[in-house]
């Protein structure tokens, strides 16, 4: 009702009103019904003085109901607004003017996002996504690797507990060997049986004869090999000292000993090849060097021979049988012995005849030299060509053939293989010098074997 009274009062004064007043009157009249329906908008009349005093133009779209009403009050309004909006502008009526005038206002322009900014945003988003994926994958992989490492450590500790020298009872030895079911060999020391500690660890159990010796060999084995670890030395897994029963438990090596290959009746089928023979010789030399220099105390083996060189599944050599070994300080070059020890044919001259010099680590060098000459087959050559081998000293036979200029490797077809055989022979001859002083140390022997052999000279016949 207040709005009706206001419109009635305002219409009586419309003749003297300005253009802006006329427009407002038309607006109020056209929206009267709407304002009555919406009670919440009745305060618009109270805001009218502010609207009149504002400097903002009144903007409307042509074609609307309000525009058609205003067009009746302002001549040619529809025509001008049509032209204005045809140019994508906004039609507006100027206020505070005596005559109605319209003006065109530019449409508010939306700011275009630069293409470079969009591309940069996309690239940055993809990069962040890639970083997130990589981080997730890294975390997953790290957790997986940590679990795998943990399992490997646990497996290692389990195997380590099985591989460290352990004392077994005789009942456990029987269980490991399945009641001594699988016999691998027999000798003067006793018998060797195949056994199993776990599903993955196989062993060779050497059961010592009860009547042999006072236990010194057993003590030597456990006291020496039990404390060392080297790739070319057989590992002692455990031992048994149950009353008068004694046994030694070694890692199992499937290819038996080197003797099987170099003394086989069917030599052609058992021949390992010259490259592999050279690798075996080098591995044995490194094992002996470790015994002489790599341990806390120097270990002298005193029984280096093909039978005591075992071969693993890759034919890597491992020195075994330390029953005759002796321990000595590294600063001592001479070892006292009450009796000769070793195997005939491999024992150094000073071991059984003191006139040739003092017993020392050079005694193992001599045994290794004889082993080298057997590896290349020269021992078999002398056995075939000489009728009475007892009258012929093995090294003398080699020197006589070299002095006469005979080719000891006439049967070797490839030059490279003949070169390897010649290098092994020269190193072997240096190692079997009568005087221990003239023999090289095992470190020098390793260096000679690792070289190409071109600078090696044949030593003098002792």
| pLDDT score for 88 | 55
Residues 275, 381, single domain; the answer is: yes
| pLDDT score for 242 | 86
Residues 288, 430, single domain; the answer is: yes
Least confident range from 139-148, 157-166, 239-248, 333-342: namely 157-166
**Phi then psi for 232, rounded to 5 degrees?**
-110, 20
Residues 427, 319, single domain; the answer is: yes
Residues 245, 154, single domain; the answer is: no
Percentage of the chain beyond pLDDT 70 is: 63
**460 found inside a domain:** no
For 427-455, what is the mean pLDDT? 93
| pLDDT score for 288 | 96
Last residue of a domain, one of 145, 163, 181: 163
For 137-160, what is the mean pLDDT? 74
Question: Rounded to an integer, what distance in angstroms lies between the CA atom of residue 407 and that of residue 411?
Answer: 9
Q: Give catalytic status of residue 303 as yes or no.
A: yes
Question: Rounded to an integer, what distance in angstroms lies between the CA atom of residue 103 and that of residue 211?
Answer: 130
Residues 174, 320, single domain; the answer is: no
Q: pLDDT tier at 71 (50, 70, 90 boundaries)?
A: low
| pLDDT score for 291 | 93
- How much is the mean pLDDT over the chain? 75
Q: How many domains does the chain have?
A: 4
| pLDDT score for 345 | 86
Question: Rounded to an integer, what distance in angstroms lies between the CA atom of residue 416 and that of residue 27?
Answer: 114
Question: Rounded to an integer, what distance in angstroms lies between the CA atom of residue 96 and that of residue 308?
Answer: 122
Question: Rounded to an integer, what distance in angstroms lies between the CA atom of residue 246 and that of residue 225?
Answer: 16
| pLDDT score for 98 | 59
Residues 331, 412, single domain; the answer is: yes
Q: Which residues contact 276 (CB under 8 A, 6 or more apart)?
A: 315
| pLDDT score for 142 | 79
Enclosing domain of residue 130: 111-163
| pLDDT score for 278 | 94
**345 found inside a domain:** yes
**455 found inside a domain:** no
- Going by C-alpha positions, the residue among 249, 237, 213, 287 that lies closest to residue 449 is 287
Q: Is 206 annotated as a binding residue?
A: yes
For 195-204, what is the mean pLDDT? 88
Q: pLDDT tier at 443 (50, 70, 90 boundaries)?
A: very high
Residues 441, 295, single domain; the answer is: yes
| pLDDT score for 52 | 41
For 95-110, what is the mean pLDDT? 63
| pLDDT score for 384 | 47
- In the sheet that holds 236-242, the strands lie side by side as 166-168, 236-242, 245-251, 202-208, 190-196, 183-187
Residue 230 gets which letter from DSSP? Answer: B
Per-residue pLDDT reduced to its tens digit, 300-343: 999 999 999 999 999 999 999 888 888 888 777 777 776 777 88
More confident residue, 102 or 17: 102
**461 found inside a domain:** no
| pLDDT score for 282 | 97
Cα 306 to the center of its chain, rounded Å: 36
Whether residue 6 has pLDDT greater than 70: no
Last residue of a domain, one of 58, 74, 106: 106
Whether residue 259 has pLDDT greater than 60: yes
Residues 8, 83, single domain; the answer is: yes
- Going by C-alpha positions, the residue among 283, 143, 290 that lies closest to residue 224 is 290
Q: pLDDT tier at 23 (50, 70, 90 boundaries)?
A: low
**393 found inside a domain:** yes
Per-residue pLDDT reduced to its tens digit, 200-218: 889 999 998 865 556 777 8
Whether residue 45 has pLDDT greater than 50: no
Active-site position among 50, 76, 265, 303? 303
Residues 292, 321, single domain; the answer is: yes
Q: At what angle do helices 394-403 and 362-375 cross, to 10 degrees?
A: 60
Q: pLDDT tier at 50 (50, 70, 90 boundaries)?
A: very low
Residue with the two structure tokens 């352990």: 166
CATH number of the CATH domain containing 336 = 1.10.510.10
Last residue of a domain, one of 251, 286, 312: 251
Whether residue 83 has pLDDT greater than 70: no
Longest distance between any two alpha carbons in the chain, whole Å: 158
Percentage of the chain beyond pLDDT 90 is: 27
Question: Rounded to an integer, what distance in angstroms lies between the CA atom of residue 318 and that of residue 275?
Answer: 18
Q: pLDDT tier at 102 (50, 70, 90 boundaries)?
A: low
Q: pLDDT tier at 87 (50, 70, 90 boundaries)?
A: low
| pLDDT score for 372 | 93
For 239-244, what is the mean pLDDT? 86
**44 found inside a domain:** yes
| pLDDT score for 46 | 46
**Phi then psi for 427, rounded to 5 degrees?**
-65, -40
**458 found inside a domain:** no
| pLDDT score for 57 | 47
Residues 279, 398, single domain; the answer is: yes
More confident residue, 357 or 311: 311
**54 found inside a domain:** yes
Per-residue pLDDT reduced to its tens digit, 290-303: 999 988 888 999 99
Residues 288, 426, single domain; the answer is: yes
Across 90-94, 178-182, 270-274, 392-396, which has the greatest mean pLDDT?
178-182
More confident residue, 38 or 200: 200
Please tell me whether residue 83 adopts helix, strand or coil conformation: helix
For 272-282, what is the mean pLDDT? 92
If phi > 0 it is left, if psi is from -120 to 50 it is alpha, else beta; for residue 453 that is left
| pLDDT score for 258 | 92
- Going by C-alpha positions, the residue among 2, 27, 154 that lies closest to residue 95 is 27
Residues 198, 72, single domain; the answer is: no
């Amino acid at each position: 009702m207040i709005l009706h009274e206001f419109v009635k009062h305002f219409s009586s004064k419309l003749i003297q009103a300005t253009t802006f007043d006329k427009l407002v009157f038309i607006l109020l009249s056209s929206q009267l019904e709407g304002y009555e329906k919406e009670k919440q908008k009745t305060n618009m009349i109270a805001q009218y003085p502010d609207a009149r005093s504002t400097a903002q133009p009144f903007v409307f779209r042509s074609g609307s109901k309000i525009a058609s009403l205003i067009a009746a009050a302002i001549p040619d309004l529809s025509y001008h607004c049509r032209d204005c909006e045809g140019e994508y502008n906004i039609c507006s009526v100027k206020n505070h003017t005596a005559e109605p005038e319209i003006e065109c206002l530019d449409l508010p322009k939306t700011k275009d996002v630069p293409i470079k900014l969009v591309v940069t945003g996309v690239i940055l988003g993809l990069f962040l996504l890639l970083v997130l994926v990589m981080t997730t994958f890294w975390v997953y992989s790290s957790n997986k690797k940590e679990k795998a490492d943990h399992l490997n450590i646990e497996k290692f500790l389990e195997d380590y507990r099985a591989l460290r020298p352990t004392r077994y009872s005789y009942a456990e030895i029987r269980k490991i060997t399945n009641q001594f079911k699988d016999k691998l060999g027999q000798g003067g020391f006793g018998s060797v049986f195949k056994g199993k500690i776990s599903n993955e660890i196989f062993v060779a159990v050497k059961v010592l004869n009860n009547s042999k010796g006072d236990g010194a060999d057993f003590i030597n084995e456990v006291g020496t090999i039990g404390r060392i670890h080297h790739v070319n030395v057989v590992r002692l897994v455990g031992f048994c000292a149950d009353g008068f029963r004694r046994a030694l438990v070694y890692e199992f090596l499937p290819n038996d000993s080197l003797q099987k290959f170099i003394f086989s009746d069917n030599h052609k089928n058992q021949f390992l090849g010259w490259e592999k023979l050279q690798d075996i010789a080098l591995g044995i030399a490194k094992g002996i060097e470790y015994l002489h220099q790599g341990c806390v105390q120097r270990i002298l083996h005193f029984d280096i021979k093909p039978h005591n060189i075992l071969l693993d599944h890759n034919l890597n050599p491992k020195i075994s049988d330390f029953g005759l070994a002796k321990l000595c300080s590294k600063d001592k070059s001479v070892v006292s012995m009450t009796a000769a020890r070793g195997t005939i044919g491999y024992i150094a001259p000073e071991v059984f005849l003191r006139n040739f010099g003092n017993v020392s680590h050079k005694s193992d060098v001599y045994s290794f030299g004889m082993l080298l000459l057997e590896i290349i087959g020269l021992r078999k050559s002398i056995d075939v060509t000489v009728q009475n081998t007892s009258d012929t000293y093995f090294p003398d036979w080699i020197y006589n053939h070299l002095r006469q200029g005979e080719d000891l490797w006439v049967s070797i077809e490839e030059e490279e293989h003949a070169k390897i055989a010649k290098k092994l022979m020269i190193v072997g001859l240096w190692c079997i010098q009568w005087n221990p002083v003239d023999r090289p140390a095992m470190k020098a022997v390793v260096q000679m074997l690792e070289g190409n052999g071109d600078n090696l000279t044949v030593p003098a016949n002792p």
